[in-house]
Structure 1
Amino acid sequence: MRAVRGRGTGTDGGGAAVEVVDVGEVPGVPGADREIELVAAGICGSDLGYLAMGSTLLLGHELAGVGADGAAYAVEAVFGCGTCAQCAAGHRNRCAEVHLRVPGMTIDGGMAERYAVPASALVPLPDGLPVRDACLVEPSAVAWRAARIAGVVPGSRVAVVGGGAIGLLAVAAAQALGADEVALSARRAERVEAGRRLGATVLPSGSAGSPGPQGSPAAGYDVVIDAAGTAGALADAVGLLAPGGTLSIAALHEGDLPLAFLPAFLKEVRVVMSMAYGADEHGVRDVDAAAGMLAARPDIAAAVVTHRFPLEDAAEAFRVAADRSTGAIKVVVEP
C-alpha cells in the first residue's frame, strides 16, 4: 500500500520533504474500526508545518473516500479520547488528549490508498457533493465553526482577513449563515479573484478604515474572521470591526497573541478563539454542516481547489503547495 511520508528533513515543507513509500498495513487512528479507500486528500498548511518540524509520519487529515459499504465519506479528523465529557458532548477538539492523535504530527495521517478511522469520525456525503471534492469538508468545518461561534446570523456584516483556503471557505460559511455582506481582504491576485468568484466584496489588503468600493467606510463589520495568523492581520481585523463587534480567530499564531490592546479596548471588541471543529448546542457537527454547504454550492470547490495530483506525484504536489508563486490555494492528492 502506498502512502506519503515526511522525510524528517525539517525543510520548509516543499517536495523534498516528502516521499511516497510502501507500508505493510493500513495506517489509521488508534481504536479505528472502519476503513475507507481514499479518493482525495487535501494538503493543509498544518502538513507543511509538521514537515518543517521534521515529521517522519504519514501525512494528511483532509480526507475523503469510499467505505466498505460503498458509501462516500469525508473524515472528521479531530480524534479525542472518546470517553471524556468533552468528547461525549461532541467537542473532541477540546479533549485533553486530542494532541496525542494529530494525523501527521503524533500519529500517521491518511494520505494513503486506505486509512482506518473510528466509525464516529465518518461524515456521510450529502447528494451533490462529489467525493473528490469532499476533502474540503474538513477545512470547511474549521471555517464554519469560526463563523458560527462568532455569531454570524442573517443580517450580519462580515469581513475575512486572509485569502487562503480557510479564509475563502470562511467567506462561503458566512454567506451560508445568512450574512448580508461578506468582504475579503487578501494579498495575492489569485486569492482576490477566488473571493470575487464566491461573491465577496474585495477590500484592499490593509484597508481598515479606508473607503470601500462605493465610497462607504470599510470599517464597521459585526464580525471579522482572522484567517491569516499575523500581527498585521489582527490589526486590520480590529480596524474593520464595528464598536462592540466580534473578532473570531481561526488562524494559528506563534507565541503570544499580537493583539494591540488600545484599539480593541476602545471598541470593546469581543474576541473568540475557534479551534478546529466540534458540534453546536443542538449536537449538529460542524463537519456535517460544512458538507451541506459544499453540496449546495459546487462553485466553492471550483474556486478553492487549484491543483490536483496523483499519489505518485505527491512530492510535486507538496512543492506546489509550499510555493506561493505557483498560485496554489488548495492542492489535492488523489490516491
Structure 2
Amino acid sequence: MKAVRAADGAIAVVELDSPPGTGDELLTMKSASICSSDLMYLRYGLRAVAGHELAGVRPDGTPVIVEAIYGCGECDQCQAGRYNLCPTHPTRALGATADGGMAERFYAPAARLVPVPDGLDVADASLAEPAAVSWHALRLGGTGADTSVAVVGAGALGLLAVAGARRLGAPEVTLEARHPHQAEAGERFGAKIGASGHHDVVVDAAGTQESLTRAIELVGPRGRVVSVAPHMAPVQIDWRTLFHLEAAVIPSMGYCAHDDGAGGSSTELAEAAAMLAENPEIPQTLITHRFPVEDAAEAFRVAADRSAGAIRVVVEL
C-alpha cells in the first residue's frame, strides 16, 4: 500500500504493510491537499505519514471528509463540542505527531467523518478542511451582515476566508495579496484588493510578524483581529493601538462544533463543505495543481513555490 512519508526534510513514497491512522473505519482515500503546515512539518524534520486535509470513501462507497482534529471525546471541551481545545490535540496532530492520511487507505474515527455534500466532488473535498479553519476564524470574529472584513494574506486560508466572509453575509471584504494570481482569485470571490481604513474583523491568514502587525493597523474600534495561521515564535503586539481602540487579538485554533441557533448543533467542517458544494467556483479556483501519489515529491515542491501560481495542490490517491 502506497503512502507519502516525511523523513529527514524530504518526501518519499513508501510501501506500508498496514494502513496508517487510528479509528474504527478503514477508508479508501481519494484526495489529500498540501497545507503550509505540511511544509512546516517537513522543515522541522518530523517523521510521519503526511496529510491532514483528507477525503475518501467508506467501505459502502459513501464519500466522506475527515475532520483532522479528533480530541479524546471524553473531556469537558470535547463534550461541549470544542474538540479543537482538547488537551490531547497536540499529540494527535495528523502528519506531525501522528501519521496522517496521505495513503491509499487510512483508519479514521467514525465520529470525525463528515459526508461529502451533493455538488462537491470527493476529488475536491479535501479543501473543506482548510475552509473549516477559515470559517472558524470568521465565526470567532463575529462575522455577519453588519461587519466589514479585511484579510491579510492570500494563500488558500486567506482566500477561503474571503469566500467564507461573503457566505456569512459580510457586505465588504478587502484582501491584501502578494502575488497577482492570488489577487485574481480574491477578486473572483468578491474581494476588493488592497485593504485600507479600519474594519470590524481582520483575519491574519499569513502567520508572520508582519501580517499580524498589518492586521492590527487595519482593525477598527472594538474590532477583532483573528489570527488563523499558527505563529510558531513569540510575536510583538502594538498594545497602544489595541488599547485605544478596545480591540482584541484572538488566536483561532482549527475548527469545532457549535450551537446552530435552532436548538441543535453543527460542525464547522460540514458548514464549510456546504459552502464549497454551493459554489463550485471555489474549488475550481483554489485547486491549481493535481498529482498522482507517485509524484508526491513534485507535488510538495510545487506547493512550496507560491510565486509560480500554486494555491492548493492535491495529491490523488
- Shared topology, TM-score over 0.5? yes
Question: Counterpart in 2 of 1:3?
Answer: 3
Q: Is the 8 A contact 1:198 1:303 kept in 2?
A: no
Matching residue's letter, 1:3: A
SS in 2 for 1:50: helix
Q: CA deviation at 1:235?
A: 2.0
Q: Within 5 Å, which residues of 2 pair with 1:87-98?
A: 87-98=78-89
Question: Counterpart in 1 of 2:59?
Answer: 68
- Structure 2 CA distance, aligned partners of 1:181 and 1:296? 20
Q: Is the 8 A contact 2:3 2:15 kept in 1?
A: yes
How many pairs are equivalent?
313
| Residue among 217, 230, 242 paired with 1:252 | 230
- Structure 2 CA distance, aligned partners of 1:147 and 1:202? 19
Matching residue's letter, 2:142: G
Richer in strand (by share): 2
| Residue among 326, 329, 332 paired with 2:308 | 326
Question: Counterpart in 2 of 1:22?
Answer: 15
- Structure 1 CA distance, aligned partners of 2:68 and 2:32? 12
Segments of structure 2 that go 5 or more residues without pairing to the other structure are: none
Segments of structure 1 that go 5 or more residues without pairing to the other structure are: 10-16, 208-217
Q: Is the 8 A contact 2:179 2:307 kept in 1?
A: no
- Structure 2 CA distance, aligned partners of 1:176 and 1:278? 18
- Structure 1 CA distance, aligned partners of 2:251 and 2:48? 28
- Structure 1 CA distance, aligned partners of 2:284 and 2:190? 13
Q: CA deviation at 1:87?
A: 1.2
Question: Counterpart in 2 of 1:315?
Answer: 297
Percentage of identical aligned residues: 50
CA deviation string 1:152-202 (max 9, x = no partner) = 011211110000010000111111111011111111111111101111111
Matching residue's letter, 1:175: R
Q: Within 5 Å, which residues of 2 pair with 1:296-315?
A: 296-315=278-297
Q: Within 5 Å, which residues of 2 pair with 1:116-131?
A: 116-131=107-122
| Residue among 182, 191, 196 paired with 2:182 | 191
Matching residue's letter, 2:95: G
- Structure 2 CA distance, aligned partners of 1:155 and 1:268? 19
- Structure 2 CA distance, aligned partners of 1:242 and 1:53? 36
CA deviation string 1:207-246 (max 9, x = no partner) = 5xxxxxxxxxx21211111101122212221222221111
| Residue among 146, 149, 154 paired with 1:155 | 146
- Structure 1 CA distance, aligned partners of 2:211 and 2:44? 24
Compute the RMSD of aligned alpha carbons.
Answer: 1.1
1:288 corresponds to 2:270: yes
CA deviation string 1:278-329 (max 9, x = no partner) = 0123421110111111111101111211111000000100011112232211
- Structure 2 CA distance, aligned partners of 1:135 and 1:91? 21
Matching residue's letter, 1:151: G
Using the size of structure 1 for normalisation, the TM-score is 0.91
Question: Counterpart in 1 of 2:171?
Answer: 180
Q: CA deviation at 1:105?
A: 1.1
- Structure 1 CA distance, aligned partners of 2:315 and 2:236? 34
- Structure 2 CA distance, aligned partners of 1:198 and 1:89? 33
SS in 1 for 2:258: coil
SS in 1 for 2:257: coil
